């Protein structure tokens, strides 16, 4: 069976200009300070490796593993 990468188009307009942390395909935190967003996500999800994304415009194409 082939592994496929998933591309998702989501309206990120409420996160414009912010960093978001993603764990298990869910947004688990957001804010204007990248380090703080990542550390907060890591403290809530200690066993996971949060992915950090900077949102710049309304719709963003995101590749989730």
Q: How far is CA 4 from the centre of its chain?
A: 19
- Determine what percent of the chain is predicted with pLDDT higher than 70: 69
Q: How far is Cα 48 from Cα 45, in angstroms, rounded to an integer?
A: 6
* Beta-carbon-side half-sphere exposure of residue 48 (alpha carbons within 13 Å): 19
| pTM exceeding the 0.95 threshold for the entire prediction | no
pLDDT at residue 34, as a whole number: 95
Digitized pLDDT (tens) for each residue of the chain, 65 residues in all: 555 555 556 667 788 889 999 988 888 999 999 999 999 999 999 999 999 988 876 555 666 66
Structure tokens at 59: 């719709």
pLDDT at residue 14, as a whole number: 86
């Amino acid at each position: 069976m082939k592994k496929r990468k998933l591309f998702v188009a989501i309206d990120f307009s409420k996160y414009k200009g912010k960093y978001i942390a993603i764990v298990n395909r869910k947004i688990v935190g957001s804010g204007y300070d990248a380090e703080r967003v990542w550390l907060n996500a890591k403290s809530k999800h200690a066993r996971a490796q949060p992915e950090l994304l900077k949102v710049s415009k309304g719709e963003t194409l995101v590749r989730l593993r």
